[in-house]
Amino acid sequence: MTLAELSLAQLRTELDRKKISAVELAEYFLARAESRTDLNAFLHLDRTLTLAQARDADIQIAHRNYSATVNALTGIPIAHKDIFVTRDWRTTAGSRMLENYVSPFDATVVEKLKVAGMVCLGKLNCDEFAMGSSNENSAFGAVKNPWDLHRVPGGSSGGSAAAVAARLTPAATGTDTGGSLRQPAAMCGITAIKPTYGRVSRYGMIAFASSLDQGGPMARSAEDCALLLDAMAGFDTKDSTSIDSAETKVSIWRSFQAESASKTSPMLEFENLRIGVPKEFFSEGLSNDVAAAVRAALTAFEQRGATLVEISLPRTALSIPAYYVIAPAEASSNLARFDGVRYGHRAADYKDLGDMIAKSRAEGFGAEVKRRILVGTYVLSHGYYDAYYRQAQKVRRLIAQDFQDAFKRCDFIMGPVAPTTAWKMGEKSNDPVAMYLEDIFTLGVSLAGLPGMSVPCGFGAGEMPVGLQIIGNYFDEARMLSVAHRYQQVTDWHLRTPEVSA
């Protein structure tokens, strides 16, 4: 088994036994990243910066005292979605607007993982300002799916998903506004979790839609994601949307371990677990191959003691229009700061201040970003705010209530992540509505602020990965990750790779 195939816990063992150093591990994954430029997953690699962090990690490992252990993540490489600002590395958000921007500080997520001892490999490609479902909207070229280079990896965290799937990095950060962690994870055959809104700090995460954006980890397995999320999560005084409560003070990793250890019988692994299956998730629009893989996963849960309960999320179809009013409205406000005055792209030729701002924005933003700014500005304009934005927020509240009604009858909700497997490059580029429809099963979770994750559960047409979506109630990440982990202990979908070389 190569280093690329090892879990985070296994890499920890290799480091602690001195079978490999943090520097050697970083060099190994840097070489892998440099050898797969065909995926266009990485936007910025810097050996000097990475190896400096790795040397610091080796010092920490060498000087640990034997009455305590080094942090479980010390010396392990990670790469960051290029939506998180990072000191020294460029942060572009996949946009020409920020092509040469270097932040003077680290995002809280980046800082927390650095404090945990992780080594940054570099920055990962993404849809421009996290707007997209295919990672074809990046100003620096589309990311390719490692399972089929002619297909998309999903978006907007497509670079993160592709890099983890191809084992260019053991782990990556991503963000989820309407499904941008879960959908690319499903299409690339890896595991990812979007935590409860407010559990992970948004400070230093370039904003798309402030009431929806949430960071989370992407890795091979649920166990790895539990370890990463534990390090990423926590109250942050620098983020006004960060939640400070009793639930957020409990260690996700320790709770995950306790939940996982409490189940002893492999044949009744999920005894007493009630799984809600929304009938709206298995209606017209879901492809047969995805439906078959997801139903097979649900059957596996049922065979090991779980009870499947048919539930209804009646406003599922309304999540698309609600989201595509609220998210663009917030985007139009957030992106107003990119005007060519303080930082970011500035047009070279202009007549006055107004002309400079107009030309800078026209040159710096891509087509999808412009589309959403225009929609958002429209729905917030005088005479339309009440007709569109206010009504969308009312629908959002009703969607959240649908989930709470469902959780009265079940512990978790499960179904598909996306209606189809990864589609061909360019197939939906000229049809934004068709692209938006790919998010129909993930948007409601984001609008409600609930935690949700994608777990590999099989393959569909063209031998492309399929993801099982697991949705939990607020702050129930540890139990949700434990359920996913126990499913992965009796299946091997998460271990399948498109290519693994020494």
pLDDT at 433: 84
Which member of 21, 138, 156, 319 is catalytic? 156
pLDDT digits (tens, 9 = 90+) for 342-387: 889 999 999 999 999 999 999 999 999 999 999 999 999 988 988 9
* Residue 251 among the catalytic residues: no
> 321: which 2 tokens?
């229009």
Crossing angle, helix 222-232 and helix 108-115, to 10 degrees? 110
pLDDT at 1: 81
Residues sharing a CB contact under 8 Å with residue 52, sequence separation 6 or more, in sequence order: none
Token pair 């409600």 is found at 448
pLDDT digits (tens, 9 = 90+) for 239-298: 999 999 999 999 999 999 999 886 656 667 899 999 999 999 998 889 999 999 999 999
pLDDT at 500: 52
Query: Which residues in the chain come in under a pLDDT of 70?
Result: 65-69, 262-267, 500-502
pLDDT at 266: 60
pLDDT at 257: 93
> 83: which 2 tokens?
């939506």
Tell me if 143 sits within 8 A of 175, measured CB to CB: no
* Residue 245 among the catalytic residues: no
**How far apart (Å, rounded) are the C-alpha atoms in residues 323 and 492?**
35
Could you say which DSSP state residue 349 is in?
S
pLDDT at 382: 85
pLDDT at 501: 45
pLDDT digits (tens, 9 = 90+) for 80-98: 999 999 999 999 999 999 9
Domain locations along the chain:
3-268+481-495
Query: Which secondary structure element, helix H or strand E, spans residue 255, and what is its range?
Result: helix 252-261
Superfamily of domain 3-268+481-495, CATH level 4:
Amidase signature (AS) domain (3.90.1300.10)
- The answer to whether the peptide bond before residue 156 is cis (omega within 30 degrees of 0) is yes
Specify the pairing of strand 119-124 against strand 77-81: parallel
> 53: which 2 tokens?
């962090």
* Residue 394 among the catalytic residues: no
Please give the angle made by the CA atoms of 140, 143 and 149, to the nearest 5 degrees: 135
**How far apart (Å, rounded) are the C-alpha atoms in residues 322 and 319?**
5
Tell me if 459 sits within 8 A of 431, measured CB to CB: no
Which member of 21, 138, 157, 180 is catalytic? 180
Token pair 């009703």 is found at 398
Handedness of CA 320, 323, 329, 332 (dihedral sign): negative
Which member of 21, 81, 428, 446 is catalytic? 81
